[in-house]
């Protein structure tokens, strides 16, 4: 019996796992979900990691960490602080040691948005390693993602397009404002990703993180082939049974 520790992404909370948890528990596993302090504009990587580590009961030795979306930058940090058996990147960002996430796609972002957060790119020679990567985000999503918590039409178009209507309405009503941008602007502090077995699950209908980037980065950064799931960016909400089958494999 494994403990699936479920770490949510941007604009979400522990609630986003409510449909997946019964599926995992019906398959004989334990589950755990927590709220990250995303509504605190000063929250850092350290704050996110503390929220996860403090939620895991002492003595648990069969922990599978599932990081959704931006939580792909959090779960390797958790694994550097306590033993885990496996990391699962669920339609997730994969950090690059010693770099800010924004450094890797700033040229895809509107210049006014960069100015608003006083962003200064690193020297160009540090960015050459990313030149062969596909675009990380759907360009339209980059312009509108911050509106998802306030605009139901945007949320439906990019986040809940593959959900049943009643599920989509429920999800949209629960969205939280993402005040902390630490996952974009803070340097990932590890020198290397932890030596832990890793899995990447790509949503083939993802309208936020590019499926092409997910496949490429899974191979390049984790050394694995991405597991394909016909779903959008919130598969734990839109396809919980199918996701549970993949996770329990």
pLDDT in tens, 62-81: 999 999 999 999 999 999 99
The yes/no answer on whether domain 3-146+176-248 falls in CATH 3.40.50.1820 is yes
Q: Using a pLDDT cut of 70, give the percent of the chain over it.
A: 96
Cα–Cα distance, 115 to 120 (Å, whole number): 8
- Token reading at 245: 């089958």
pTM for the model:
0.94
Q: What is the pLDDT of residues 203-239, one digit of tens each?
A: 999 999 999 999 999 999 999 999 999 999 999 999 9
pLDDT at residue 215, rounded to an integer: 98
Q: What's the whole-number mean pLDDT along residues 100-112?
A: 82
Length of the chain: 249
Cα-Cα-Cα-Cα torsion 85, 243, 181, 123, nearest 10 degrees, comes to: 70
Domain locations in the chain as residue ranges: 3-146+176-248
């Amino acid at each position: 019996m494994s403990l699936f520790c479920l770490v949510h992404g941007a604009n979400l909370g522990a609630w986003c796992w409510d449909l997946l948890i019964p599926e995992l528990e019906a398959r004989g596993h334990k589950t755990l979900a927590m709220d990250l302090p995303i509504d605190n504009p000063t929250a850092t990587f350290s704050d996110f990691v503390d929220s996860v580590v403090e939620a895991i009961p002492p003595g648990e030795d069969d922990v599978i960490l599932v990081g959704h979306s931006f939580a792909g930058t959090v779960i390797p940090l958790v694994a550097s602080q306590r033993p885990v058996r496996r990391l699962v990147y669920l339609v997730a960002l994969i950090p690059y040691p010693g770099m800010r996430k924004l450094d890797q796609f700033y040229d895809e972002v509107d210049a006014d948005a960069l100015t608003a957060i006083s962003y200064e790119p690193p020297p160009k020679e540090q960015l050459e390693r990313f030149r062969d990567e596909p675009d990380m985000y759907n360009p339209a999503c980059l312009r509108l993602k911050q509106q998802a918590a306030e605009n139901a039409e945007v949320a439906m178009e990019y986040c809940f397009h593959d959900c049943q209507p009643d599920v989509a309405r429920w999800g949209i009503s629960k969205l939280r404002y993402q005040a902390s941008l630490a996952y974009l602007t803070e340097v990932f502090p590890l020198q290397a990703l932890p030596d832990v077995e890793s899995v990447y699950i790509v949503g083939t209908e993802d309208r936020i993180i590019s499926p092409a980037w997910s496949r490429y980065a899974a191979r390049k950064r984790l050394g694995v082939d991405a597991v394909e799931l016909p779903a959008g960016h919130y598969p734990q909400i839109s396809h919980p049974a199918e996701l549970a089958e993949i996770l329990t494999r």
